[in-house]
């Protein structure tokens, strides 16, 4: 084989050199930008990715030529420069060029100890990272002349040759090692997990060492100008005297504060000019690189050198604040600020968070079902939760799983933990709706319902009254109390979302069932209520009794009597809701659940009910049994109840209309939207519409008031989607209930799917949990069919989705593309949805610009 | 108003007259046909429908002109002649023209008594049917001269005028009365219930009276040449001497037998020539009118007159026999014979029927869920049913509703009666599969489970051991034993179906789970098994234990051990099945139901299970509870079990393949089709296919035998239909399980739908119960989408349906049109399906001919 010439494809970084992030990597490009800002960056040579690939393939570089760029006998460092800083890369190697001769010089200039330590450090690093020798052999506690000799001997013994003296050889070996590490499997998998493509390439930068070991003020430091947790302006970082950059991470007693600090001396006091210069560099970076940067610097004999700059790592809340501040300072556009904030990151900001800097005593793990963290005393029943709340003691409701009768307990708790269930279990859905931190399916923990003990896998026993913290953002269950960060609904948050509203082109409403929910929706600036479930209104004690009387009524008259007692309460619900939502649309779903949900399940409960209704227990039991269903999801509920027991919908419609009139009398205005659930045939809509129109006419006559309303359909069955053309004849709007629609399209109960969903997602049977991410292929096609056929019948048909999927960026993208008018999601997802919708509009604009 | 001329639009019926059934009605046309056969039909005039409509509107007819057709002083009858004999019409009026003068003549010719009786009869009929007087006033026990005078006086008193003497006036009044009766509401509703269109019109025929009152052999009779119950050749009918046709229905001691009979004198003996002539007329009718006709005749002075002929009313079995015999005699084509038999009529013939001629002591009513009747002693448990069967005593299993564990009890019973459930309840589905008469949802009867008493609405108590009969054809529950007709799987039945097979163009397979089912399928000449559900195989006691061990296994190894015990039993199942079905395809659905169906539900059952498994009761209870599901229909079943616990499908596949090899060794041949249930994503099919291919390879290696098989998918979820294109990449066939697909498309559990389905169908919310008649609009569209996308991927994809709908003519029509290869239905529906498919092919051929 012909010997190939050494590669000479490298370039010194100067303001005018041809440096590209794609060819030379982000670090090379960043250093060039710093140079263009006139920063004191040490001389640097960039090796492009093509060169590194060639080296990995066995070619050699003209290392002498590289070193010649740095003058005589230089010491240099090599750092990775991949195309994207997130992709990692091999560790930096410092002090290449160190050898016996250079050591002798250093002894003279910096003294024996410093020279020994520096040489030893290089030998260690080279032996381990380049020659790949056993790290244990080079682990030495204290640098000394003897330790240096031992290390050099150990190297020779292992390698059968002395430690390389030739700087060009040293550099060549370092480059070869780094290029191969990049090509290795573990590095490849690691960077691919961070989103790097298969062909991701590595550039390297070779930089003259800025020692920080000289006379006067010398040392290395790192500085940033914001608090990485809050994003507020604040200088943070550290400075170590007589140290190289690799030392900064060390915890040393003699580190200096950067700014004046009562606790000790600071760089700002000791070298005010240098500090001011650093601050100027930081400001320049921010203005020109349009980002908050962290600078790595050395001071050598009172001369500042900026050796590297990276984007400040930051929390979600800091990221938002930085983006807004940059936009407000005119450094980036509002659009760019919007795109810099990941919608999903917003969820974290709406709730208290466990402080990432604190320690965690994890006793179990579950599914992070509703974000935010909460600390409270364990209670095992809803009654205990209410008692605890009335004592003013925060509590965590711990249940095997929750049911509708736990609603009041959930309202009373600061967090919910369940042993069973998934992302769409009752606890999870209600928890997200209430903005209540929630961990579900914590199968690590086992709940002994009889003994009232929560047992951890490791055998720790927790009883009622014990303090725990649940972290609904990570799914962790922690013992005791932990440090928390408060929620961040600050000015920056509100400002960013107002910008989002300026650009987005699809409506965002909230699912809100109660006045409290509605207030939250308003706080988060939802454009109305897209789904108000009315059944929760009937679980309050006084109402439950009337509901049960209604259920046990023998004649339509008796039923009407029981419902008449519910009417004023139901009307008050709507008056409150409408007052809060004034001027915005409110879409009310008529009664949906099967009646048996309102009956007690225990023998004792049935006995109490029999007493309350003054009927024999045997009859109550028999009738309760007769109401049970094999598959309640597919049973007698929704519009089926509305057809068979039409008095219920009559009462609800009357309550809605009377509330509208009442609110109008008080000067408010509302156009209610009435939504019929579980429709599977257009005739159902026709029948309900006829009765509701009649109720409206009756209320108009009785109150002598005029009002408008809209009647629409919740599309939850595949058949309703297929027959949307026919249904739209009687409906002003269609709102797709993607929870139930997903259940029916898959033939999959979300309450029962937990048992195998993990296996399914792990084996790739389903790419995602379809209750979590909208199934575009199946359910999505039904949405498109329904939308198209509906609009064909009625061009101005309002289209929306109101399932749990509503707040997901993927669902919003789908609905936006399909021409839907709005999405509706739980109140606490509204901010995320507003931002996600803005992203989509901006990306679309970009796409249109480029094509 | 200008007086209009009397209508003269009437025509005497002669062989060459222009008579059309559409204009003059079927009777006029039929009489013309008889005339063309040279039959002695009395002179007859046809009044077309237009004339009758004009009369109803107030116009008058030239009645004199009509009467002139019959010579001087005729007596005539008027009979209805609607376009279709099924549509009914006003009662016949005889002896029009009777008056004092005519009476005097008759006294001379026939004697005083006969003349009085005849005149009295006319006055009575006229007063009641034409003048609409109170029938009570004209109710006279014995005709006499006094009675006649009384009647004439009563008429005059009521009408303020004497009884009309003018024959033309009499006729005019009769026609006016008949025309108005036809236009009346009750007549209109009655004929519309029989399928008559809104515009159905009435013609009338006026016929010269043939008195049957003369000298010598005189009288009236009715004769037909087949037994109307069996359809076999046999002269039946009666003859009354000295009687008019209206007398024939009377029960008179002096009626003659028609043919020689040891019990008394017969027409055949008394007037052999007349009898022979009648027989010739009958044969001529059959040959030329191409139908078995009933002749009404009179004999006057030994002269025969045929005054009317109608199609013999007949039972379903007679109808089939007649059609086959006519075809075999070359009178009609086989195609016509096929079209003359209504497919639904066949179901009756497959089972014993309650003899319609017997008396019925009805104690309750339910839904006729599985046709046929059965008598047996009441048992209330499956165990009692088995005990009864082992004693050789037929029993009826009476349950609130049945569950899978009742299967053996159902096998042991001769019929099943349930208090709850609908057409698609467990009892109904299994009943139809087993061909077991079944009445469900008998809410008339209440079952006291504890006291073991069945209580009828009228308060009758039935206990275990009491004899009852259930009629699964009508839904009646009868006390005691009743007369039965045996099933009619005779030569005619088989012949007709073989003709059906010659013309039909879609395959018919049977759903068969057991060797007994398979034998039935073979008997009914199904073209294979389209759905063999394997889960029933696991309910036998020995297997149930192994199943439960499998369910409670802690490791895949333990699971495999339990399954290994099931393997030989499962293999034997298939060996038996394959031997019976030799040469035909057998499509086996892999295990489908949720595992909890195999666990006991009672505390006692769980305790026994704990003992059997040697595990603590608390653990068994806890694990059984953990397996319960909120919506089992949408839970962990079907392919989901196959993915999560793949050992089950592995075992089943091994059993199938080993059975194929075994049957091949014995000289048989079978290509099994393996069907995966409840698929919702193509990856499920891919994963199962990989494992089944591996099992096949293993069995091929172990047995050193070659065999083929097909793998396909049961399309039961809407998503599987939507993604059929992708799924077909891995599937050789798609079979639509329309039961589950309907449940999911509607979001409607068939087990829970009973509560409101009646209301829904009554109010027209659903035009039909979609579990009974395939919902073409919704579920049907998914079938079409699935079929089209599947075939796009794989042009030779086999398509079929295998739900309960499979045997319905409507479903067969749908599938045929959609290009499906076959339908599969319960064995007892196979004959119906074969005939229905033939009808469709023939009707299509007709349609193509006419276009």
Quote the CA–CA distance of B379 and A171 in Å, as a whole number: 95
Question: Residue A189 pLDDT > 90, yes or no?
Answer: no
Spell A557-584 as b/e; 16+ CB within 10 A means b. Answer: eebbebbebbbeebbebbbbbbbbbeeb
Tokens matching residue A715: 């599309």
The CATH number of residue A478's host domain is 3.50.30.10
Are B505 and B822 in contact, with CB atoms under 8 Å apart? no
ipTM of the complex: 0.80
The CATH number of residue B153's host domain is 3.30.1490.20
Question: Residue B730 pLDDT > 50, yes or no?
Answer: yes
Q: What is the pTM of this model?
A: 0.81
Q: Is A308 annotated as a binding residue?
A: no
CB nearest to B643's CB, from A680, A744, A760 = A760
Domain boundary among A173, A208, A243: A208
The number of beta carbons lying within 10 Å of the beta carbon of residue A11 is 18
Quote the CA–CA distance of A846 and A838 in Å, as a whole number: 12
**Confidence (pLDDT) at A1:** 47
**Confidence (pLDDT) at B245:** 67
Both B372 and B459 in one domain: the answer is yes
The residue in chain B having the minimum alpha-carbon distance to the alpha carbon of residue A641 is: B756
* Residue A625 belongs to a domain: no
Both A474 and A517 in one domain: the answer is no
For A124, the enclosing helix (H) or strand (E) is: helix A112-125
Of B373, B289, B345, B432, the residue nearest B772 (C-alpha): B432
CA distance B510 to chain A (A): 26
DSSP letter string over A488-529? Answer: ---HHHHHHHHHHHHH--SEEEEE--SHHHHHHHHHTT-SSE
Of A420, A412, A368, the residue nearest A394 (C-alpha): A412
Active-site residue flag, A24: no
Chain B residues touching residue A774 (CB < 8 angstroms):
none
For B511, the enclosing helix (H) or strand (E) is: strand B507-511
Q: B75 versus B248: which is more confidently predicted?
A: B75
Quote the CA–CA distance of B757 and B236 in Å, as a whole number: 46
Phi and psi (nearest 5°) for B776? -65, -35
User: Cβ contacts of residue A199 below 8 Å, gap of 6+?
Assistant: none
Structure confidence at residue B563 as a pLDDT band (50, 70, 90)? very high
* Residue B203 belongs to a domain: yes
Cβ–Cβ of A722/B763 closer than 8 Å? no
How far are the Cα atoms of A376, A769, B101, B159, B559 from residue A762, in angstroms, in the given order?
A: 34, 10, 105, 94, 22
Q: Angle, nearest 10°, between helix axes A515-523 and A556-580?
A: 30
In total, how many domains does chain A have? 4
Arithmetic mean of pLDDT, A525-539: 91
Q: What is the interface size between A and B, counted as CB pairs within 8 Å? A: 171
Structure confidence at residue B180 as a pLDDT band (50, 70, 90)? very high
- Burial class (CB within 10 angstroms; exposed 0-12, middle 13-18, buried 19+) of A290: middle
Spell B490-508 as b/e; 16+ CB within 10 A means b. Answer: bebbebbbebbeebbebbb
Q: What are the pLDDT digits (tens) for B658-683?
A: 999 999 999 999 999 999 999 999 99
Both A745 and A719 in one domain: the answer is yes
Q: What are the pLDDT digits (tens) for A588-603?
A: 999 999 999 899 888 8
The CATH number of residue B282's host domain is 3.30.470.20
Are B522 and B831 in contact, with CB atoms under 8 Å apart? no
Question: Residue B248 pLDDT > 80, yes or no?
Answer: no
- Across chain B, mean pLDDT equals 91
Quote the CA–CA distance of A535 and A548 in Å, as a whole number: 13
Chain B residues touching residue A744 (CB < 8 angstroms):
634, 718, 744-745, 747
How far are the Cα atoms of B724, B736, B806 from residue B714, in angstroms, in the given order?
A: 11, 6, 14
* Residue A2 belongs to a domain: no
Question: Residue B780 pLDDT > 90, yes or no?
Answer: yes
Chain B residues touching residue A740 (CB < 8 angstroms):
747
Helix and strand element counts for chain B (H, E):
33, 30
* Residue B703 belongs to a domain: yes
Q: What is the 3-state secondary structure (H, E, C) of A185-233?
A: HHHHHHHHHCCCCCCCCEEEEEEECCCCCCCCCCEEEEEEEECCCCCCE
The torsion angle over the Cα atoms of residues A638, A641, A646 and A652, rounded to 10 degrees, is: -40
Q: What are the pLDDT digits (tens) for A622-636?
A: 888 888 888 989 999
Residue with the two structure tokens 């029916």: A744
Q: What are the pLDDT digits (tens) for B12-65?
A: 999 999 999 999 999 999 999 999 999 999 999 999 999 999 999 999 999 999
Arithmetic mean of pLDDT, B237-260: 77
Q: What are the pLDDT digits (tens) for A641-652?
A: 999 999 999 999
How far are the Cα atoms of A454, B552, B610 from residue B621, in angstroms, in the given order?
A: 20, 11, 8
Q: Is A716 annotated as a binding residue?
A: yes
Both A700 and A825 in one domain: the answer is yes
CB nearest to B740's CB, from A743, A747, A760 = A747
Structure confidence at residue A742 as a pLDDT band (50, 70, 90)? very high
Question: Residue B2 pLDDT > 60, yes or no?
Answer: no
Residue with the two structure tokens 């005539």: B76
Chain B residues touching residue A678 (CB < 8 angstroms):
747
Tokens matching residue A552: 């046990």
Ranges of H-type helices in A581-632: 603-613, 617-627
Structure confidence at residue B249 as a pLDDT band (50, 70, 90)? low
Are A643 and B765 in contact, with CB atoms under 8 Å apart? yes
Mutation choice for A interface testing from B730, B752, B759 by most A CBs within 10 A: B752
* Residue A337 belongs to a domain: no
Residues in chain A: 851
Q: In sequence order, what E strands does B721-797 have? A: 733-736
Q: Is B73 helix (H, G, I), strand (E, B) or coil?
A: coil
Cβ–Cβ of B634/A782 closer than 8 Å? no
Of B429, B414, B409, B316, the residue nearest B367 (C-alpha): B429
User: Cβ contacts of residue B377 below 8 Å, gap of 6+?
Assistant: B388, B393, B394, B395, B396, B464, B465, B466, B467
The CATH number of residue B700's host domain is 3.20.20.60
Q: What are the pLDDT digits (tens) for A747-775?
A: 999 888 877 888 898 888 999 889 889 99
* Residue B23 belongs to a domain: yes
**Confidence (pLDDT) at B626:** 83
Cβ–Cβ of B683/A764 closer than 8 Å? yes
CA distance A510 to chain B (A): 26
Cβ–Cβ of A643/B766 closer than 8 Å? no
Cβ–Cβ of A746/B640 closer than 8 Å? no
Chain B residues touching residue A636 (CB < 8 angstroms):
752, 755-756
Ranges of H-type helices in B140-297: 145-159, 167-183, 185-193, 267-270, 272-289
Residues in chain B: 851
Q: Is A173 annotated as a binding residue?
A: no
Tokens matching residue A249: 């991470």
* Residue A609 belongs to a domain: no
CA distance B367 to chain A (A): 19
Chain B residues touching residue A749 (CB < 8 angstroms):
629-631, 633-635
Q: Is B48 left (phi over 0), alpha (psi -120 to 50) or beta?
A: beta
Both B362 and B438 in one domain: the answer is yes
**Confidence (pLDDT) at A722:** 98
Both A86 and A164 in one domain: the answer is yes
DSSP state of A827: G
CB nearest to B683's CB, from A632, A740, A765 = A765
Q: Is A816 annotated as a binding residue?
A: no
Both A254 and A379 in one domain: the answer is no
Cβ–Cβ of A631/B636 closer than 8 Å? no
Both B399 and B528 in one domain: the answer is no
Chain A residues touching residue B756 (CB < 8 angstroms):
636, 640, 643-644
Are B492 and B500 in contact, with CB atoms under 8 Å apart? no
Q: What are the pLDDT digits (tens) for A212-233?
A: 777 778 889 999 999 887 899 9
Question: Residue A405 pLDDT > 80, yes or no?
Answer: no
Edge-to-edge, what's the strand order for the sheet holding A303-311? A233-241, A219-226, A293-300, A303-311
Quote the CA–CA distance of A51 and A64 in Å, as a whole number: 15
Mutation choice for A interface testing from B594, B686, B718 by most A CBs within 10 A: B718
Cβ–Cβ of B749/A680 closer than 8 Å? no
Given B426, B596, B730, B805, the catalytic residue: B426
Quote the CA–CA distance of A669 and A585 in Å, as a whole number: 10
Given B438, B587, B802, B825, the catalytic residue: B802
CB nearest to A751's CB, from B631, B644, B723 = B631
Quote the CA–CA distance of B219 and B241 in Å, as a whole number: 4
**Confidence (pLDDT) at A789:** 98
Q: What are the pLDDT digits (tens) for B449-499?
A: 888 899 998 889 999 999 999 998 889 999 999 888 777 678 999 999 999
Q: Is B714 helix (H, G, I), strand (E, B) or coil?
A: strand
Phi and psi (nearest 5°) for A550? -60, -45
Question: Residue B748 pLDDT > 70, yes or no?
Answer: yes
Question: Residue A251 pLDDT > 50, yes or no?
Answer: yes
CA distance A634 to chain B (A): 4
Question: Residue A690 pLDDT > 50, yes or no?
Answer: yes
CA distance B158 to chain A (A): 50
Of B560, B673, B689, B542, the residue nearest B612 (C-alpha): B542
Tokens matching residue B759: 């209301």
Domain boundary among A424, A455, A485: A485
Question: Residue A850 pLDDT > 80, yes or no?
Answer: no
Both B296 and B238 in one domain: the answer is yes
Both A260 and A380 in one domain: the answer is no
Domain boundary among A187, A208, A229: A208
Chain A residues touching residue B748 (CB < 8 angstroms):
634, 680, 717
The residue in chain B having the minimum alpha-carbon distance to the alpha carbon of residue A425 is: B630
Cβ–Cβ of A752/B777 closer than 8 Å? no
CB nearest to A631's CB, from B633, B716, B723 = B633
Both B423 and B295 in one domain: the answer is no
Q: Is A344 helix (H, G, I), strand (E, B) or coil?
A: helix
User: Cβ contacts of residue B85 below 8 Å, gap of 6+?
Assistant: B26, B27, B310, B311
CB nearest to B744's CB, from A630, A747, A760 = A747
Cβ–Cβ of A756/B630 closer than 8 Å? no
Q: Is A747 left (phi over 0), alpha (psi -120 to 50) or beta?
A: left
Active-site residue flag, B815: no
Q: What are the pLDDT digits (tens) for B678-697?
A: 999 999 999 999 999 999 99
Arithmetic mean of pLDDT, B490-513: 95
Q: Is A36 annotated as a binding residue?
A: no
Both B108 and B241 in one domain: the answer is no
Given A24, A110, A351, A426, the catalytic residue: A426
Largest CA distance in chain B: 107
| Structural domain of A52 | 11-208
CB nearest to A748's CB, from B680, B723, B765 = B680
Rg (CA), chain B: 34
- Across chain A, mean pLDDT equals 91
User: Cβ contacts of residue B460 below 8 Å, gap of 6+?
Assistant: B363, B479
Cβ–Cβ of B629/A747 closer than 8 Å? no
How far are the Cα atoms of B29, B31, B310 from residue B36, in angstroms, in the given order?
A: 11, 9, 16
Are A135 and A102 in contact, with CB atoms under 8 Å apart? no
The residue in chain B having the minimum alpha-carbon distance to the alpha carbon of residue A637 is: B748
Question: Residue A141 pLDDT > 90, yes or no?
Answer: no
Chain B residues touching residue A755 (CB < 8 angstroms):
635-636, 644
* Residue B561 belongs to a domain: no
């Amino acid at each position: 084989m012909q010997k190939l010439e050494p590669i000479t494809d490298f370039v010194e970084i100067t303001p005018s050199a041809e440096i590209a992030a794609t060819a030379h990597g982000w670090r090379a490009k960043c250093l060039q930008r710093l140079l263009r800002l006139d920063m004191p960056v040490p001389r640097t040579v960039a090796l492009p990715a093509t060169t590194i690939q060639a080296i990995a393939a066995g070619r050699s570089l003209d290392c002498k030529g590289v070193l010649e760029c740095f003058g005589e006998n230089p010491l240099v460092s090599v750092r990775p420069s991949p195309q994207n800083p997130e992709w990692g890369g091999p560790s930096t190697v410092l002090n290449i060029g160190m050898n016996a001769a250079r050591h002798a010089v250093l002894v003279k200039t910096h003294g024996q100890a410093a020279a020994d330590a520096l040489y030893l450090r290089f030998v260690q690093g080279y032996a381990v990272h380049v020659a790949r020798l056993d790290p244990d052999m080079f682990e030495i506690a204290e640098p000394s002349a003897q330790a240096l000799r031992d290390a050099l001997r150990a190297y020779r013994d292992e390698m059968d040759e002395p430690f390389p003296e030739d700087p060009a050889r040293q550099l060549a070996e370092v480059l070869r090692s780094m290029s191969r590490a990049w090509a290795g499997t573990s590095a490849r998998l690691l960077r691919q997990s961070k989103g790097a493509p298969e062909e991701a390439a590595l550039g390297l930068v070779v930089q003259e060492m800025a020692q920080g070991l000289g006379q006067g003020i010398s040392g290395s430091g790192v500085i940033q100008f914001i608090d990485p947790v809050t994003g507020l302006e604040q200088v943070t970082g550290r400075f170590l005297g007589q140290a190289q950059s690799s030392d900064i991470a060390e915890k040393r007693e003699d580190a200096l504060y950067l700014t004046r600090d009562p606790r000790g001396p600071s760089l700002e006091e000791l070298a005010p000019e240098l500090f001011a210069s650093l601050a100027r560099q930081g400001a320049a970076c921010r203005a020109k690189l349009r980002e908050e940067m962290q600078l790595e610097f050395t001071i050598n004999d009172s001369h500042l050198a900026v050796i590297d700059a990276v984007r400040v790592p930051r929390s979600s809340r800091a990221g938002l604040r930085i983006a807004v501040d940059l936009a407000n300072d005119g450094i980036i556009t509002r659009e760019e600020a919007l795109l810099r904030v990941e919608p999903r990151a917003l969820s974290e900001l709406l709730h208290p968070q466990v402080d990432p800097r604190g320690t965690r005593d994890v006793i179990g793990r579950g599914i992070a079902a509703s974000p935010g963290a909460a600390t409270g005393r364990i209670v095992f029943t809803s009654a205990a939760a209410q008692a605890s709340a009335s004592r003013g003691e925060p509590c965590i409701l711990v249940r095997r799983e929750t049911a509708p009768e736990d609603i009041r307990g959930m309202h009373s708790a600061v967090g919910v933990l369940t042993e069973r269930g998934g992302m769409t279990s009752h606890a999870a859905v209600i928890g997200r709706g209430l903005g209540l931190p929630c961990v579900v399916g914590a199968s690590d923990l086992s709940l002994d319902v009889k003994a009232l003990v929560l047992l951890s896998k490791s055998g720790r026993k927790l009883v009622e009254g014990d303090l725990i913290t649940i972290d609904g953002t990570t799914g962790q269950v922690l013992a005791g109390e932990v440090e928390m960060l408060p929620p961040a609904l600050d000015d920056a948050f509100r400002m960013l979302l107002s910008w989002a509203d300026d650009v987005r082109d699809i409506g965002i409403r909230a699912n809100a069932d109660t006045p409290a929910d509605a207030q939250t929706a308003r706080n988060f600036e939802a454009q109305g209520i897209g789904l108000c479930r009315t059944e929760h209104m009937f679980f309050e004690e006084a109402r439950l009794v009337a509901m049960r009387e209604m259920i046990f009524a023998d004649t339509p008259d008796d039923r009407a009597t029981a419902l008449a007692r519910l009417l004023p309460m139901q009307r008050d619900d709507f008056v409150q809701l409408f007052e809060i939502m004034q001027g915005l649309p409110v879409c009310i779903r008529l009664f949906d659940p099967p009646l048996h949900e309102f009956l007690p399940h225990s023998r004792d409960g049935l006995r109490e009910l029999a007493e309350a209704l003054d009927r024999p227990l045997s009859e109550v039991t028999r009738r309760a049994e007769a109401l049970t269903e094999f598959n309640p999801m597919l049973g007698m509920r929704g519009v089926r109840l509305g057809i068979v027991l039409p008095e219920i919908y009559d009462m609800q419609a009357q309550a809605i209309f009377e509330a509208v009139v009442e609110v109008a009398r008080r000067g408010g205005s509302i156009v209610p939207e009435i939504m019929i659930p579980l429709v599977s045939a257009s005739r159902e809509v026709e029948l309900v519409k006829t009765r509701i129109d009649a109720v409206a006419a009756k209320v108009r006559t009785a109150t002598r008031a005029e009002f408008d309303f809209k009647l629409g359909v919740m599309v939850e069955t595949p058949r309703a989607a297929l027959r949307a053309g026919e249904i739209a004849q009687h409906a002003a709007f269609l709102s797709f209930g993607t929870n139930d629609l997903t259940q029916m399209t898959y033939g999959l109960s979300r309450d029962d799917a937990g048992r195998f969903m993990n296996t399914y997602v792990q084996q790739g049977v389903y790419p995602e949990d379809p209750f979590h991410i909208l199934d575009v292929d199946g359910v999505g096609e039904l949405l498109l069919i329904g939308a198209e056929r509906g609009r064909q019948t009625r061009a101005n048909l309002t289209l929306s989705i109101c399932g749990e999927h509503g707040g997901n960026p993927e669902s919003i993208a789908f609905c936006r593309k399909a021409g839907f008018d709005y999405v509706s999601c739980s109140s606490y997802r509204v901010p995320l949805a507003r931002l996600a919708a803005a992203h989509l509009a901006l990306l679309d604009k970009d796409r249109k610009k480029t094509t």
